[in-house]
Structure 1
């Protein structure tokens, strides 16, 4: 028994899909007739839009411009800087010890000061 309230309870969502009708006999007949028409030279085959391929190629080219950019990509430079920092951190830990982490902690405010000064 439900008591009246101010708020409605959310109902669970039901999955509903409209099934498509599939007729294998009709599809087989269409495939055979199109194949026979193609063999006889009377093909009524739908041609692919000639601009379709160029649109796809153009979209890939547009994305490639973003990937390569003019000169060196900034993400590549950032990854290189992070990798170099990690290598120095590991090498510093092996040769110096924990003190290298304190040096990095001192370098962070200097970096932020330089960055915000611009």
Structure 2
């Protein structure tokens, strides 16, 4: 039994999501039947290219081919450089003290000046 009140009680929120499944066999069967119907002239829908392949099939491999190259090597080197700098700063702080941070702060403008000078 609910008593009347000034405020509404918060109800719990329900989360409902319908999962989407990808069935490559079913998609292949649908593509083949549509292609056969288009060749026989049984369907008035759009014709499907005979060389049609699934949109999802192999798309990740194609993107990975584009991703590999000089860009990936540069990001790996940049990460390595940042990691080495951080390790050197921590080691410098342990052995030298706070002065290592002042040294780094002095070298940053010099590096930027050299970088933009080119």
TM-score when normalising by structure 2: 0.51
8 A Cα contact 1:67 1:73, kept in partner: no
If asked which structure has higher relative contact order (CA below 8 Å, sep 6+), I would say 2
Q: How many residues align?
A: 71
Report the Cα offset of residue 70 of structure 1: 4.1
Note the residue ranges of structure 1 that are not aligned, 5 or more in a row: 1-45
Name the CA shift for 1:88/1:68 in 2 (closer, same or farther; >3 Å).
same
Higher helix share: 1
After TM superposition, the structure 1 = structure 2 runs for residues 71-90 of structure 1, keeping only pairs within 5 Å, are: 73-90=73-90
SS of residue matched to 2:29: coil
TM-score when normalising by structure 1: 0.51
Query: What's the counterpart of residue 51 of structure 1?
Result: 53
Which protein has the larger Cα radius of gyration, Structure 1 or Structure 2?
1
Name the CA shift for 1:48/1:110 in 2 (closer, same or farther; >3 Å).
farther
Tell me which stretches of 4 or more aligned residues in structure 1 moved more than 4 Å.
none
2: CA distance, partners of 1:48 / 1:69? 37
SS of residue matched to 1:100: helix
Note the residue ranges of structure 2 that are not aligned, 5 or more in a row: 1-27, 32-51
Residue 86 of structure 2 corresponds to residue 104 of structure 1 = no
